[in-house]
Amino acid sequence: MKQIYVHGLGQTSDSWTKTIDILQTTDYSLCPNLPDLVHSKEVTYDNLYAAFSDYCNQYDEPIDLCGLSLGGVLALNYAIQYPKKVRSLVLIATQYKMPKKLLKFQNLLFRFMPKSMFQQMGFRKADFLLLCETMMELDFNNSLHKISCPTLLLYGEKDTANKNASIELAELLKNVELKTIIGAGHEVNIESPQELAEILHAFYERMS
């Protein structure tokens, strides 16, 4: 059984290292680096999702998907399109209907940031801007009924921008748990890896 951990925008695959080390699941945990998946293609959401789908589809057995923010959106999209391929789903700070005002504000901030700040994140500044622009119309609300696997929804206590989406998702999905990580903000895999690992361990144990 493969567990696939998907990082958020502005993170890299290394953002999951501490959590996975605590879980002691390195033998079957996978952390794709999203910029590497799209290679030389234009970094639109459709291209990124197609590359992510190809990555997941290379494994014949059902997979456990865990994604944060952008990674959660990709994981949610995949679970909707391939419900039989996903044994379990963990969505951290994940929007199911893109908040256009938030994305526009985020893009405005990106435009004023120097290109040098994006180098360590894998995507170029232009990639950040294009990716956010092409996500504006995403809305999975009418497709959520296709997901039937056990689902865990998480958000950091201080992550006010994504708290409501997680609470709403808990009402729209079946077979779901909702948990708050106290004291954490948006990037719980970096800010609270110990608590996150303990929650994930308990969740996966219940399915074994």
CATH code at 77?
Answer: 3.40.50.1820
CA distance 131 to 34: 12
pLDDT tens figures, 85-108: 999 999 999 999 987 677 666 666
41 Cβ contact partners less than 8 Å away, ≥ 6 residues apart: 47, 51
pLDDT over 90 at 53, yes or no: yes
Q: Is 41 inside any structural domain? A: yes
**Rounded to the nearest 5°, which phi and psi values hold at 99?**
-80, 100
Read off the pLDDT of each residue in 22-51 and give the average, rounded to a whole number: 93
Contact criterion met (CB below 8 Å) for 85 and 63: yes
Distance CA 45, CA 43 (A): 7
Structural domain span for residue 163: 2-97+140-207
